[in-house]
């Protein structure tokens, strides 16, 4: 019986790592490499220079809620507004679920959110330096909020399975 449980645990952990790897690739693609591959070749070989970086630094949003309010006040369609705001939140929900599952040292809420925040900062800084997008403090807040939602989903699922495990542990075995 223990061997079966160990096999399941290994398989589940392996599957979780695979899902995390795919998630990481998708997240990198969605945040850093939104455009077709040919764009980046052109961008880095012909257009990328110090003036471009300086302009991107000037466009950076360091004031919370500025971009969100700009979206709300703009003539953008509600679909675009919701897509941007929800996209930043939804993109980090899996992070809040998977990180505490795979990294026991990060399984507390504060540590999971700090990891999400730092990853988000890394993405924003890469966008800023390589002019792959713009630095926006609102993205940091929305991404971290998404990780918090994911963490609470993880916690609810863990509690559900813990209750089930405790209940089944006291059931008589049928052999």
The count of domains in the chain is: 1
Q: Does a structural domain hold residue 174? A: no
**149 class by beta-carbon count within 10 Å (0-12 exposed, 13-18 middle, 19+ buried):** middle
Instruction: List pLDDT tens digits, range 131-159.
Output: 999 999 999 999 999 999 999 999 999 98
Does the structure show a pLDDT above 50 at 172? no
What is the pTM for the complete model shown?
A: 0.85
Distance CA 96, CA 23 (A): 12
* Tens digit of each residue's pLDDT (9 = 90 or more) over 43-56: 999 999 999 999 99
Residue 158 lies in a domain: yes
Token pair of 156, please? 């609810």
Going by C-alpha positions, the residue among 15, 32, 41 that lies closest to residue 131 is: 32
> In this structure, is residue 122 part of a structural domain?
yes
Residue 84 in any domain: the answer is yes
What domain range includes position 76? Answer: 2-169
Domain assignment present for 175: no
């Amino acid at each position: 019986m223990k061997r079966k449980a160990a096999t399941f645990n290994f398989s589940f952990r392996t599957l979780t790592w695979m899902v995390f790897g795919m998630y990481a690739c998708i997240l990198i693609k969605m945040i850093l490499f939104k455009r077709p591959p040919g764009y980046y070749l052109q961008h880095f070989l012909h257009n990328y220079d110090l003036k471009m970086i300086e302009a991107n630094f000037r466009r950076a949003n360091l004031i919370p809620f500025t971009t969100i309010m700009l979206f709300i006040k703009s003539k953008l369609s509600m679909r675009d507004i919701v897509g941007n705001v929800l996209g930043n939140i939804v993109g980090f929900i899996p992070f809040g679920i998977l990180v505490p599952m795979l990294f026991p040292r990060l399984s507390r809420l504060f540590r999971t959110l700090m990891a999400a925040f730092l990853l988000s900062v890394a993405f924003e800084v890469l966008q800023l330096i390589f002019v792959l997008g713009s630095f926006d403090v609102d993205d940091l807040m929305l991404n971290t909020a998404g990780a918090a939602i994911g963490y609470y989903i993880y916690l609810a699922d863990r509690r559900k399975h813990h209750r089930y495990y405790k209940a089944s542990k006291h059931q008589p075995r049928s052999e």
